[in-house]
Structure 1
Amino acid sequence: MTRGLRAASVPAVELKVSTRSHGGQTVMAVVGEIDLYTAPRLQAEFARLLQESATTRVVIDMSGVEFCDSTGMNVLLSALKRLRERGGALEVAGPRPAVRKILQVTGLDSVFTVHEAVPEELLTAEPKA
């Protein structure tokens, strides 16, 4: 019985991450909340991406992100640093008002290139088979 009660009292926090790469450019779509509990999932996805591919430009589509705390921002900054070390860039696309406000308050909107939506050229690119 305790098991059922415990499961009911802990909210299920989920973060969905999907990537699509083409020609050294990757769009990473993130859906959910990025916080202390889910940030390791995002960090692991960045680590996998940077280890397995020659990606130099990552556009993170945050239109599905409802909340992002300082832990999430630190993951983005870490990924930006690693991409810059290889001559690349990390860009933010489609942040919702709450995420945009965090970017503005922290000054990170001047660190990242922020787009209203994923750039058109990345939407029309055909992914590698």
Structure 2
Amino acid sequence: MIVSTCGTSAGTIHLAAAGEVDLGTVDDLTMALARAISTEGAVAIVIDFSEVTFCDSSGLHALDRAYHEAHVRGLVFRLTNPQHNVRRLLEVTGLAEQLTGS
């Protein structure tokens, strides 16, 4: 799994993830999200999941934790472009609306 910062604009930090998010790779996602959330001047975190082919419960937990940490800090947190299988997992677990806004 690869997580990269795609850029920042007006306080929004854009991240992109690619590959599989599972117990073996979730630490990369967790660390990238923590860095983004703690960035001075950040107002929003947007993470593109269009290249994520698989996400297990450890990935969902990391996203949920990051969402709550961002909320505590007053930041907007949005997951965008999840592939069908990831979106379905978000829907089944009740996290779709919270993380994607839809």
TM-score, scaled to structure 2: 0.91
Query: Are 2:99 and 1:112 aligned?
Result: yes
Query: Are 2:29 and 1:64 aligned?
Result: no
Q: What secondary structure does 1:111 align onto?
A: helix
Aligned counterpart, 1:84: 71
Structure 1 residue runs of 5 or longer lacking an equivalent are: 1-14, 116-129
Partners in 1 of 2:43 and 2:13 — Cα distance?
Answer: 8
* Contact 2:36 2:45 (8 Å CA) reproduced: no
* Contact 1:62 1:95 (8 Å CA) reproduced: yes
The residue identity in structure 2 corresponding to 1:76 is L
Partners in 2 of 1:72 and 1:31 — Cα distance?
Answer: 13
Alignment coverage as a number of residue pairs: 101
Partners in 1 of 2:75 and 2:33 — Cα distance?
Answer: 13
Greater shift, 74-83 or 48-57, is seen at 48-57
Partners in 2 of 1:61 and 1:114 — Cα distance?
Answer: 13
The residue identity in structure 2 corresponding to 1:110 is E
Give the superposition deviation at 1:93.
0.9
Give the superposition deviation at 1:114.
4.3
- Find 1:33's aligned residue among 13, 20, 23: 20
Partners in 2 of 1:82 and 1:26 — Cα distance?
Answer: 15
Partners in 2 of 1:112 and 1:75 — Cα distance?
Answer: 12
Q: Once superposed, which parts of structure 1, at least 4 consecutive aligned residues long, lie more than 3 Å away?
A: none
Percentage identity across aligned positions?
A: 36
Structure 2 residue runs of 5 or longer lacking an equivalent are: none
Aligned counterpart, 1:17: 3
Partners in 2 of 1:47 and 1:109 — Cα distance?
Answer: 21
- Find 2:89's aligned residue among 76, 90, 102: 102
How do residues 40-55 of structure 1 correspond to structure 2 at under 5 angstroms? Answer: 40-55=27-42
When Rg is computed on C-alpha atoms for both structures, the one with the higher figure is: 1
* Contact 2:70 2:76 (8 Å CA) reproduced: yes
